[in-house]
Amino acid sequence: MKRIEFFFDLSSPYSYLASTQVEALAARAGAEVAWRPFVLGAVFKATGNTMPAAVAAKAKYMLTDLARWAAHYGVPFRFISRFPMNAIKAHRVILAGERAVAGKGAVLGRALFDALWVDDLDVSDDTVLRALVTAAGLDGEAILRAVEDPEVKGLLRENTDDAIRRGAFGAPTLCVGDELYCGNDRLPFVEAALRRA
């Protein structure tokens, strides 16, 4: 089956926007989505990039741009009060959930994005994470223990290293085979690539 590899960091608002569209896009093109959290800070460090909010003019523009995209997609959005958010533990929750039950990584990814960018919850907090994992039908305590598992930590490192190796410099990064697309605004090109595949 055709496949989109969706590399994202929960702390990236453009990753949130892409997350609201990527599965419908895949369904239209007869593809599946592999949800692959990565560490955006490590990607920035490896590529010499910085977050747009680090430049005052870009930060101001970004707030307007994000609101425009959310309105365009018809999705809720509010800028988080804890920016930038360290989402490493939440990323490991997604990976541990997927390892426990296939398909739960996507469920947790969507829930965590909404918790952060719609409800402004602290997704680094164990109580919040436990509740979201439990709501997804998994054992919250077991998944929180699993975030310290070397295998789960290794999966996050592997995703990050793989994204860098393939040319990622920001989030979201989407791959269709060997083709890489960076940014929420590249989703039409991702869909076109899937239709060609």
Find the distance separating the first CA and the last CA of the chain, reported in whole Å.
10
Domain span at residue 20 reads 2-196
> Where does residue 36 fall: left (phi above 0), alpha (psi -120 to 50 degrees), or beta otherwise?
beta
Q: Strand 173-176 relative to strand 2-8: parallel, antiparallel, unpaired?
A: antiparallel
CATH at 129: 3.40.30.10
**pLDDT band for position 81 (cuts 50, 70, 90):** very high
Least confident of 5-9, 53-57, 143-147, 185-189: 53-57
The residue-averaged pLDDT of 96-121 equals 98
User: Looking at residue 181, what is its pLDDT?
Assistant: 98
* Average confidence (pLDDT) over 77-85: 92
At 10-61, the pLDDT tens digits run 999 999 999 999 999 999 999 999 999 999 999 999 998 887 777 788 888 9
Please, what is the Cα angle at 85 between 9 and 174, to 5 degrees?
10
**Number of separate domains in the chain:** 1
